[in-house]
């Protein structure tokens, strides 16, 4: 039996979620502790069987909420010029779904990679991005592309729309705690809520969005200088603007306060918001442990310590 595996890691947006949709720059990190693994095998018969935490059964009966995944498999097989028959596709993921950690992009990337390996074909970056972008449109409507770029990158990225990606210099290691609120956020709805407000009061929204872009630039400088106070100060300001845009919520605000009170330099939501995760910048791993404990006490479903190395 032939078996092939495709993998993709999670992502963390440090700064620039939402404003990136309007063309402002953002900084994101690969979050390699959690990932999606797709295993492709050949099986008897002529059906494609899906095995995933959310659905098990034939591809044709895939539920509507997994439409993007179904479409991604069909499109990838088309590009591979393969008949869609006799395959077992298992999707396993340690990335919690709908928490702003890029699970949908990671699933699509791992799927495309797994299928290309299975059919022994070379996968170019542009092929991968085209297939994943299509899948992401099902999940998010008008994705900026930052999720798929980060989930397929080994290094931190500076990202602007039209897939402009630059290297981000990290002058010293930075430590973070990521906390999952345990609540599913709806990125699609959060992006739409800002769009709706923008249509009514463009100046107000534009102001926050432009400021978030400026903060991203200052965070980039702080990262290069290894200056955690500067980075932290800007991250805290970003949280204020995300709250003004209406994508934070009382639960996330509570976790942000908890992290700061427990000694974090800064804390903000990460990803689409309205549920999902926060990240907290801490001076060192010991403090990180203290902050993580406090976040669990305050009701976080789980936490991760994350260090971005000098690069």
In terms of DSSP bridges, do strands 302-308 and 174-180 run parallel, antiparallel, or are they unpaired?
antiparallel
Looking at 68, 98, 100, 156, which residue binds ligand MEV (CB under 6 A)?
A: 100
Smallest distance, ligand MEV to C-beta of residue 18, A? 5
Q: In this chain, which of 9, 99, 140, 260 binds ligand MEV, going by CB under 6 A?
A: 140
Report residue 233: phi and psi, to 5°: -60, -45
End-to-end CA distance of the chain: 42
Integer Rg of the chain from CA:
20
Question: Which residue, 272 or 288, has its beta carbon nearer to ligand MEV?
Answer: 272
- DSSP states along 156-189: -EEEETTTEEEE---SS-EEEEEEE-SS---HHH
Tokens of 66: 């997994």
- Per rule CB under 6 A, is residue 185 in the interface with ligand MEV? no
Q: Considering the complex, state which of residue 160 and residue 228 has its C-beta at the smaller distance from ligand MEV.
A: 160
Q: Does 24 bind ligand MEV (CB under 6 A)?
A: no
User: Would you count residue 21 as binding ligand MEV (CB under 6 A)?
Assistant: yes
Q: Report the half-sphere exposure of 12 (CA within 13 A, side-chain side).
A: 27
- Residue 147 touches ligand MEV, criterion: CB under 6 A: yes
> Does residue 132 bind ligand MEV (CB under 6 A)?
no
The Cβ of residue 31 has, within 10 Å, a number of other Cβ atoms equal to 25
**Of 18, 113, 220, 274, the one binding ligand MEV by CB under 6 A:** 18
Residue 117 and residue 40: Cα distance in Å, rounded? 9
Candidate segments 13-21, 50-58, 90-98, 118-126, binder of ligand MEV by CB under 6 A:
13-21
Q: Which residues of 214-243 are buried (b: 16+ CB within 10 A; e: fewer)?
A: ebbbbbbebbeeebbebbbbbbbbbbebbb
Residues 228-267 that bind ligand MEV (CB under 6 A): none
Please choose, from the candidates 41, 30, 97, the residue with its C-alpha nearest in 3D space to the C-alpha of residue 69: 97
| Residue nearest ligand MEV (C-beta atom) | 144
Of 15-23, 33-41, 167-175, 197-205: span binding ligand MEV (CB under 6 A) = 15-23
**Does residue 191 interact with ligand MEV by CB under 6 A?**
yes
Given the rule CB under 6 A, which residues bind ligand MEV?
13, 17-18, 20-21, 100, 140, 143-144, 146-147, 187, 191, 271-272
């Amino acid at each position: 039996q032939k078996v092939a595996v495709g993998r993709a890691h999670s992502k963390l947006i440090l700064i620039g979620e939402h404003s990136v949709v309007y063309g402002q720059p953002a900084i994101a990190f690969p979050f390699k502790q959690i990932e999606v693994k797709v295993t492709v095998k050949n099986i008897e018969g002529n059906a494609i069987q899906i095995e995933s935490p959310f659905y098990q059964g034939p591809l044709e009966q895939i539920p509507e909420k997994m439409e993007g995944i179904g479409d991604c498999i069909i499109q990838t097989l088309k590009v591979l010029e393969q008949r869609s028959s006799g395959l077992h596709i298992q999707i396993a993921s340690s990335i919690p779904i709908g928490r702003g950690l890029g699970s949908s992009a990671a699933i699509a990337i791992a799927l495309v990679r797994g299928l290309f390996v299975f059919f022994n074909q070379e996968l170019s970056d542009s092929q991968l991005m085209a297939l994943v972008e299509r899948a992401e449109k099902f999940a998010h409507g008008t994705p900026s592309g930052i999720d798929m770029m980060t989930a397929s990158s080994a290094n931190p990225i500076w990202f602007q729309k039209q897939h402009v990606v630059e290297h981000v210099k990290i002058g010293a290691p930075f430590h973070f705690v990521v906390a999952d609120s345990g609540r599913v956020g709806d990125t699609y709805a959060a992006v739409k809520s800002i769009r709706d407000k923008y249509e009514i009061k463009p100046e107000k929204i534009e102001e926050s969005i432009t400021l978030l872009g400026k903060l991203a630039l200052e965070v980039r400088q702080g990262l290069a200088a290894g200056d955690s106070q500067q980075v932290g100060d800007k991250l805290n300001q970003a949280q204020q603007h995300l709250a003004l845009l209406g994508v934070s919520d009382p639960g996330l605000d509570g976790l942000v306060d908890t992290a700061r009170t427990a000694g974090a330099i800064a804390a903000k939501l990460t990803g689409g918001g309205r549920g999902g995760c926060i990240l907290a910048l801490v001076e060192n791993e010991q403090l990180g442990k203290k902050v993580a404990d406090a976040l669990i006490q305050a009701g976080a479903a789980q936490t991760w310590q994350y260090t971005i190395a000098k690069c």
